[in-house]
Structure 1
Amino acid sequence: MPTRLICLRRAFGKTAARFCCKRPSMLPTSLLRALRVSAILAAGLLSAGAALAQAVTMVPGTGVGLVPPKALPLSKSFSGFGDQALASSILIVEFPAEAYAQILPSFTPEGMKATGVEATGPAVDWRIAGGQGGRLIRGKQTAGGLVLRKWIVLAKGPGSTVMVTAQSPEDKASALPDAAIEAALKTIALKAPPAMSEQIAALPFAVGDLGGFRPVRVLSGSALLLTEGPRDTIPDASQPVVIVASGVGGGEHGDQASRSSFAREAMATVAGVSDLIVDDDTSFEKDGASWSRLAGFGTYRASSEAIWVVQVVRFAPGGYIRTVAITRAHDKDRLADRIDAVAGSVKPK
């Protein structure tokens, strides 16, 4: 697993899949808001050649595009295409170019099992316009009571590693047949990724104050990774990591108790941390929104370092923006105000 993805999981745990990479739709929620409708049946009858004749839709903030099924509009909340009613999606995730060599050895049926995907066959070569080393794995996954059909494409593009994940419930196969999804995946086209400023501008939220931290990468079009220090790959706690990500749900329509419960459950998913004790639990109103701030000390499992973890959630109609930061415990006093400045400046677009 590429180290930057490890950094993301370090902050968001297994829910990072929801935030950025794995958990495409399956619920009208998270970064992969779903897609497809009955009109897609017609698209499923198109040949790959006919699909290629159509215009490729580039996903804003990425160097990836494709010709989506007609029922799957370009998402405004994550990088890809989706339709909530069909709980289906095509999610685009970009990693550093060097990540391809790290991911490829585990891009196998056996490797997929760790993510909950049961492959229905071996990885096969998949031709990608503007890319190389394209591989496809087909499979199924059970999540949220749904049996999902899944397609995962890995490729190396000019300047990045690209993973495209398509998924749709089995019971939507008549509306979105396998042929329609595979026709779309055959049109994947890659180009050099856009500048960081363009990627940040395409996020579904704004960060008004970076707190002096340096942007490292935008993930899945809905998460921003920040750090302080020279390294972009951060396998331990030697550099602080701040991740801001948007999501759907979160009890934003519930009462304070339900929002607090959501925040605590989210805090418990921070991966790579053990013995986390929350000693600061604050709820407040600001800028017309409800907020939750949790902070505490724990141990970074991989290096046994003492760390400080803070999570700030801004609840909004239809979703939330979650900021998670991890730093060494002895850096808390130096960085706390800067982290709070970042978290307190976020707002939905």
Structure 2
Amino acid sequence: MKGFVAATLGFILSFHAALAAEPVFPPASRIGIVPPEDMMPSKRFSGFENQERAAAISFVEMPAEAYGQLVSGLTKEALKRQGMSVTFRENLKLGSKTGVLVAGTVVGPEAGRKWVLALKDGDLTALLIAQVQGGSDGYSDAQMRSALKSVALRGPVSLDEQVSALPFRVNDKAGFRPVRVLSGSSVLFTEGPLDTIKAMEQPIVILAASLSPPPPSGERRDQFAQAALNSNQILKNVTFERSESFRFKGQEWHEIVAKATDAVSGQPMVVMQTIRFEPDRYVRMVGLARIDQREQLLPRFRNVIDGVDMRP
């Protein structure tokens, strides 16, 4: 009897261990992992985090063809320019998945340790970025590597499910339709038959929630907003028509309207960027359209951001 009880107990324990080792997929994500102890799915981005330990693992989904370019940017020299000193690099083969894992230290405001895993399988390239801020506390190198190597990929998730998992609700789409969700925290809308817009054939609206607290109020936010718009790679010759802060619905907002040139087609464009600040986060809207669509589209861009509610 004792042997039977011991065997049964062993089976139960091993069964629970097997369950615990199952990969967990954040809502609407094709990427899942066995997260480190006490890491929970984030409400701010696609991935997991433990704010008490200042640790997070975020996921980014990309097309399969992005893998080569992504890996070419994981060199020591390229990562050093981004503030990461690489101390470890490993080529991985995880079942049918091919990948590269690098680890190192980060200097600057978010100093700490960082791990980056690029992985390709079938039609998907997965980018997993893990970071622990501070010194040697938080999670160990072994824990983070183990979590990243437990990565699992699943089939496509419906666009409606991806939109419903965003950290905000879009109550008024103003006639635009969603075509793509990125990183679990941003969504791209358009109007027209095309899902991929290469030369501003159709208007574009991008909504993105922040992963970090906003800058202090006042002049710093004006500088922040202008720098955010100028940092994009799809516009050139950006000329501000107006750049202003205001209060609306009890919150601080900042809005820019500018003229610019599409970097691909050379077509003149109008751009609206509106940022709504909350104490610990913000949501940003960028609307892009041809100059001849200005009068009809700028009010609709504003309707989209006005109707956004952040989820708790």
Tell me how far 1:283 sits from its aligned partner: 3.7
From 239, 250, 253, the counterpart of 2:214: 250
Determine the structure 1 residue equivalent to 2:261: 299
User: Could you list the per-position Cα deviations for residues 11-46 of structure 1 after superposition, in whole angstroms to 9, with x for gaps in the alignment?
Assistant: xxxxxxxxxxxxxxxxxxxxxxxxxxxxxxxxxxxx
Q: Which runs of 5+ in 2 are unaligned?
A: 1-16
Matched residue SS, 2:41: coil
Cross-structure match for 2:153: 190
The answer to whether residue 62 in structure 2 is matched with residue 95 in structure 1 is yes
Q: Is 1:166 aligned to residue 130 of structure 2?
A: yes
- 1:341, distance to aligned residue in structure 2 (A): 1.8
Question: Bigger relative contact order, structure 1 or 2, given CA contacts below 8 A and separation 6+?
Answer: 1
Equivalent position of 1:151 in the other structure:
115
Tell me whether 197-206 or 297-306 shows the greater mean CA deviation. Answer: 297-306
Matches within 5 A, 1:118-157: 118-127=85-94, 132-144=97-109, 146=111, 148-157=112-121
Equivalent residue letter for 2:226:
R
Residues 105/315 of structure 1: CA separation in 2 closer, same or farther (3 Å cut): closer
Aligned to 1:317: 279
In 2: Cα distance, 1:108 partner to 1:52 partner: 37
Task: Provide Cα deviations, 1:206-240, integer angstroms capped at 9, x if missing partner.
Answer: 11122222312211111111223444444443433
Alignment match, 2:44: 77
Separation in 1, partners of 2:106, 2:220: 29
Alignment TM-score, normalising by the size of structure 1: 0.74
RMSD of equivalent CA atoms? 2.8
One-letter amino acid of the structure 1 residue matched with residue 207 of structure 2: V
Q: Is the 8 A contact 1:119 1:137 kept in 2?
A: yes
Alignment of structure 1 residues 108-119 onto 2, 5 Å: 108-109=75-76, 111-113=78-80, 115-119=82-86
Deviation at 1:106, TM superposition (A): 4.5
Number of the residue aligned with 2:11 = none
Residues 54 and 138, structure 2, Cα contact 8 Å, conserved in 1: no
**TM-superposed deviation, 1:109:** 4.2
Q: CA deviation at 1:182?
A: 0.8
Map of 2:22 onto structure 1: 55
Distance in 2, Cα, partners of 1:143 & 1:298: 33
- Per the TM alignment, residue 52 of structure 1 is displaced from its structure 2 partner at its CA by 8.3
Between the aligned partners of 1:255 and 1:136, the Cα distance in structure 2 is 39
- State the 1:58 CA deviation: 1.3
Residues 266-345 of structure 1 mapped to structure 2, 5 A cutoff: 266-345=228-307
**Aligned length in residues:** 294
CA gap 1:110/1:282 in 2 versus in 1, 3 angstroms? closer
Contact 1:278 1:296 survives alignment (8 Å): yes
Name the SS of the counterpart of 1:103 in structure 2. helix
Secondary structure, counterpart of 2:214 in structure 1: coil
State how far apart, in whole Å, the 2-side matches of 1:229 and 1:116 are.
41
1:62-93 per-residue CA deviation (whole Å, 9 max, x = no partner) reads: 01211111132221111111133433211111
Task: Give me the whole-angstrom Cα distance separating, in 1, the residues matched to 2:84 and 2:192.
Answer: 36
Counterpart residue identity of residue 161, structure 1? T
Query: Do the aligned residues in 2 keep the contact of 1:109 with 1:123 (CA within 8 Å)?
Result: no
Bigger radius of gyration among the two: 2
Q: In the TM superposition, what is the alpha-carbon distance from 1:271 to its structure 2 partner? A: 3.3
Structure 1 residue 308 displacement after superposition? 1.6
Deviations 1:132-186 (A, max 9, x none): 223322333323162x322221223455321111122461x24311001011112
After superposition, the Cα gap between the structure-2 partners of 1:265 and 1:112, relative to the gap in structure 1 and judged at 3 Å, is closer
* Contact 1:227-1:242 at 8 Å conserved across structures: yes
Does structure 1 retain, via aligned residues, the 8 Å contact 2:214–2:279? no
The percent identity for this pair of structures is: 35
**Partner Cα distance (2:70, 2:143) in 1:** 27
TM-score between both structures, scaled by the size of structure 2: 0.82
Q: Distance in 2 between matches of 1:302 and 1:121?
A: 38
Which secondary structure does the structure 1 equivalent of 2:94 belong to? coil
Alignment partner, residue 214 of structure 1: 177
The CA distance in 2 between the partners of 1:144 and 1:329, in whole Å, is: 40
Are 1:202 and 2:188 matched, yes or no? no
| SS of residue paired to 2:107 | strand
- Which residue pairs with 2:310 in the alignment? 348
Q: How far did residue 51 of structure 1 move? A: 8.4
Secondary structure (helix, strand or coil) at the match of 1:58 reads coil
Alignment partner, residue 143 of structure 2? 180
